[in-house]
């Protein structure tokens, strides 16, 4: 994401933050805890921030292990961002939501934008509440806050961090290294996914769209490609025919069971022109070849 913003706006106009010492971002950097209101405020003022992407969150699987921490990081982090955006008159704020907002009572295929939200994970509860806070700040204070319901995001630059959809990244590393993967979901657990480049492009396009085009102020459904572990395994076998997978579903299967298999993103298509580029074959090729190159050069 940072690299895409640097490519678009130039390194001197982008500031990245993280809780650790500079992990080597290609732009200005501030070490920052998103729960430290004063520090966030100082950073926003120091850099005269116009577009604020608040991406920090604890994902679904880690959230189930520490619900209180997931709630604290995901909700307090967002509320600080919303309050400061109003106080400092930030032009635009981005909030990442997720397919995890869906749960009981929805059609699992092509789940509609306006479906009921009854999530069953703490992560999903925090994102569903967060979306409503965004809509509230837009209505009450006129804050230009925008949001996407990301499917599982698949990329090769950074390692996955505690999500249910992370198997679809791990599987490539294990395929390249060992030719074998033990999967924590069932073979037919079909979930919506998106290749990182498409997810980043969607985010930038949403943030660049004229304000009057943004009709959804909770969060837009975003669909890339849906697949199951056995489907992606078959695609990987086109690159490594001896690749094998063994299935050992754990608690993350319960989370996956509550999520849609695909979501309807026609509102995003209609309102601000969203269109995905990566299908399963293209995603698999990019992931396999990039990870192979990366591991060969270590």
Cβ 258 vs Cβ 120: under 8 Å:
yes
Residue 60 beta carbon to ligand SER: minimum distance, rounded to whole angstroms? 3
Active-site entry in 9, 53, 123, 137: 123
Q: Which stretch binds ligand SER (CB under 6 A): 27-35, 45-53, 96-104, 279-287?
A: 96-104
Between 3 and 62, CB nearer to ligand SER: 62
120 makes contact with ligand SER (CB under 6 A):
no
Cβ 132 vs Cβ 90: under 8 Å:
no
DSSP string, 26-57: SSEEEE--TT-HHHHHHHHHHTT-SEEE----
60 makes contact with ligand SER (CB under 6 A):
yes
Contact track, ligand SER, 129-168, x by CB under 6 A: ---------------------x-x----------xxx---
Comparing C-alpha atoms, which of 120, 38, 51 is closest to residue 91? 51
Residue 40 beta carbon to ligand SER: minimum distance, rounded to whole angstroms? 23
111 makes contact with ligand SER (CB under 6 A):
no
74 makes contact with ligand SER (CB under 6 A):
no
Cβ 62 vs Cβ 100: under 8 Å:
no
Between 5 and 148, CB nearer to ligand SER: 148
d(CA 103, CA 121): 9
Angle at 109 between CA 116 and CA 267, to 5 degrees: 65
Angle at 159 between CA 278 and CA 291, to 5 degrees: 60
Sheet-wide strand order for 152-154: 152-154, 191-195, 225-227
54 makes contact with ligand SER (CB under 6 A):
no
Retrieve residue 49's tokens.
């921030």
Q: Which stretch binds ligand SER (CB under 6 A): 41-49, 95-103, 105-113, 169-177?
A: 95-103
202 makes contact with ligand SER (CB under 6 A):
no
Q: What are phi and psi of 57, to 5 degrees?
A: -165, 155
Between 144 and 166, CB nearer to ligand SER: 166
> In whole angstroms, what separates CA 131 from the centre of its chain?
14
Between 102 and 288, CB nearer to ligand SER: 102
Residue whose beta carbon is closest to ligand SER: 163
214 makes contact with ligand SER (CB under 6 A):
no
Instruction: Give catalytic status of residue 9 as yes or no.
Output: no
Q: How many residues bind ligand SER (CB under 6 A)?
A: 11
Q: Which residues on neighbouring strands pair with residue 147, listed in sequence order?
A: 95
Residue 255 beta carbon to ligand SER: minimum distance, rounded to whole angstroms? 7
Cβ 82 vs Cβ 133: under 8 Å:
yes
Residue 25 beta carbon to ligand SER: minimum distance, rounded to whole angstroms? 22
Q: Residues 59, 101, 206, 214: which binds ligand SER (CB under 6 A)?
A: 59
Catalytic residues: 123
Chain residues that interact with ligand SER, rule: CB under 6 A: 59-60, 98-100, 123, 150, 152, 163-165
């Amino acid at each position: 994401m940072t690299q895409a913003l640097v490519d678009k706006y130039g390194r001197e106009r982008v500031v990245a933050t993280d809780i650790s010492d500079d992990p080597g971002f290609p732009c200005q950097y501030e070490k920052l805890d998103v729960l430290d209101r004063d520090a966030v405020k100082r950073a926003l003022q120091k850099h005269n921030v116009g577009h604020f992407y608040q991406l920090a969150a604890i994902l679904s699987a880690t959230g189930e292990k520490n619900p209180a921490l997931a709630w604290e990081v995901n909700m307090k982090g967002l509320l600080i961002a919303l309050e400061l955006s109003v106080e400092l008159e930030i032009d635009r704020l981005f909030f990442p939501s997720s397919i995890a907002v869906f749960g009981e009572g929805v059609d699992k295929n092509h789940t509609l934008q306006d479906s009921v939200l009854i999530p069953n994970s703490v992560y999903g509860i925090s994102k569903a509440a967060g979306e409503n806070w965004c809509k509230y700040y837009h209505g009450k204070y006129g804050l230009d806050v925008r949001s996407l319901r990301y499917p599982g995001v698949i990329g090769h630059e950074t390692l996955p961090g505690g999500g249910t959809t992370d198997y679809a990244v791990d599987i490539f590393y294990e395929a390249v290294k060992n030719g074998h993967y033990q999967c924590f979901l069932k073979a037919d657990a079909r979930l919506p996914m998106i290749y990182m480049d498409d997810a980043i492009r969607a985010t930038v396009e949403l943030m660049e769209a004229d304000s009057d085009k943004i009709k959804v102020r909770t969060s837009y459904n975003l669909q890339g490609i849906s697949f199951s572990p056995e489907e992606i395994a078959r695609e990987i076998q086109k690159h490594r025919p001896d690749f094998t997978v063994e299935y050992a579903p754990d608690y993350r299967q319960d989370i996956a069971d509550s999520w849609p298999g695909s979501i309807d993103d026609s509102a995003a298509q209609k309102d601000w022109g969203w269109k995905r580029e990566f299908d399963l074959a293209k995603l698999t090729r990019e992931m396999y070849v990039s990870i192979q190159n990366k591991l060969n050069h270590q």
